[in-house]
Amino acid sequence: MSASEFDLLRSVTLGQYLPTGSVLHRLDPRVKLLAGLLLLVAVTATSSLAGLALALALVVGGFVVARVPLRYALSGIKPMVPFLALLALLQIVAIPQNDLNTTLLWRWAFVTLTVRDLVAAALLFLKFAVLMWGFSLLSFTTTTTELTHGTEHLLRPLQRIGLPAHEFALMVNIAFRFVPLLATEAERLMKAQASRGADFGGGRRLNFVQRMRKQLPLLVPLILSSLRRAEDLILAMEARCYTGGRGRTHLIHLHAERRDYLALAGILVVLALTVAAGFLSADAVIWRAIASIRTS
């Protein structure tokens, strides 16, 4: 058992802000939000490993420019690995990719494992990882205030069709803000219950049912305290005469500069290539190259 048995925040990198003062931090939040959106579209749309590698390079490059320690940034994927592994397994079992063009690696009853299966699973894994890292890059470099302003600005055109841009932005902001709070709260509850003999399986692995049963006593106080926190927040906002977005002025006005447009253009190009890689069958070229190495 390690000292971090209860250290939940340690593994939550998404939603943290790291004030390193890099050029990415100074970028217009709208650009960063748009980049996040584009990344989401591009990564979902592409079906090419090469394309994903490109998007991954973009995100990792972002970490370097933002002066975020790579090990810390990448470790954010750890808590998601079990889910991703399960998804990858489902992908292999439920959607078999066993046409004739692929090499069969392993067969057991009706389950077959082919090279294509492995590629599909890797694609799935990589897609999630790139997205998760991309969004954590966004949160590392952007304060929640900037995020709210950015979202609100970007959504403003949609106000005409009745979308409450301000309220929506605020909602997103609060949701983000609550993630680390909830993690801290959960940690406190786990520790209190562990002090009363609850076993969260420090050293041993618990099975799924056991683990779920341990979570149940955590959920009730966690939900109660979230509700309480939400009510406090409402009171605090109303005490300061908050009545929604109508007629509200802003302390910060966003101005996009040349470097913002340049950054956006650069990101657009890389992500366009990510999507294009799928159509250009870049992977096929790479597979052929690998195959030729193997045969020679």
Partner 1 sequence: MNADSPWIELRDIHYTYLRGTPLEAAALRGVSLEVRAGETVAVIGPTGSGKSTLLQHLNGLLRPQQGQALVLGEDLGNSAVDVREIRRRVGLVFQQPEDQLFERYAGDDVAFGPRNYGLPLDAVRERVREAMESVGLPFEAYKDRLTMTLSGGERRRLALAGVLALEPQMLVLDEPTAGLDPMGRRSLLQYLRVWQDEAERAIVLTTHNMDDVALLADRIYVLVDGRVVRVGPPRQIFGDPGFLLEHGLGLPSATQVVQALAGRGCSVPVDLLTLEEVADAVERLAYERV
Residue 205 Cβ vs partner 1, minimum distance, rounded to whole Å: 16
Beta strands in the chain (DSSP E): 104-108, 111-114
SS3 16: coil
Among residues 208, 271, 205, 254, the alpha carbon closest in space to that of 38 is found at 271
Residue 193 Cβ vs partner 1, minimum distance, rounded to whole Å: 7
Residue 65 Cβ vs partner 1, minimum distance, rounded to whole Å: 15
CB-based contacts of 122: which residues, under 8 Å, 6+ apart? 49
Residue 290 Cβ vs partner 1, minimum distance, rounded to whole Å: 37
Residue number, 61 or 202, with CB nearest to partner 1: 202
**Separation between Cα atoms, residue 177 and residue 202, nearest integer Å:** 28
Q: Which helix (H) or strand (E) holds 116?
A: helix 115-141
Residue 70 Cβ vs partner 1, minimum distance, rounded to whole Å: 11
SS3 1: coil
Residue 215 Cβ vs partner 1, minimum distance, rounded to whole Å: 11
Residue number, 103 or 210, with CB nearest to partner 1: 210
Residue number, 200 or 287, with CB nearest to partner 1: 200
Residue 228 Cβ vs partner 1, minimum distance, rounded to whole Å: 8
Residue number, 103 or 215, with CB nearest to partner 1: 215
Residue number, 2 or 249, with CB nearest to partner 1: 2
Residue number, 107 or 228, with CB nearest to partner 1: 228
Residue number, 69 or 244, with CB nearest to partner 1: 69
Q: List contacts with partner 1 (CB under 8 A).
A: 1-3, 6-7, 9-10, 16, 18, 20, 68-69, 72, 188-189, 191-199, 202-203, 217-218, 220-221, 224-225
Q: Which residue, chain included where needed, has tokens 């190009």?
A: 269
Residue 244 Cβ vs partner 1, minimum distance, rounded to whole Å: 31
Alpha carbon 200 to chain centroid, angstroms: 26
Residue 287: exposure state from Cβ atoms within 10 A (0-12, 13-18, ≥19)? middle
Residue number, 87 or 222, with CB nearest to partner 1: 222
SS3 57: helix
Q: Which helix (H) or strand (E) holds 203?
A: none
Pairing relationship of beta strands 104-108 and 111-114 according to DSSP bridges:
antiparallel
**Separation between Cα atoms, residue 285 and residue 292, nearest integer Å:** 11
If phi over 0 gives left and psi between -120 and 50 gives alpha, with beta otherwise, what is residue 127?
alpha
SS3 82: helix
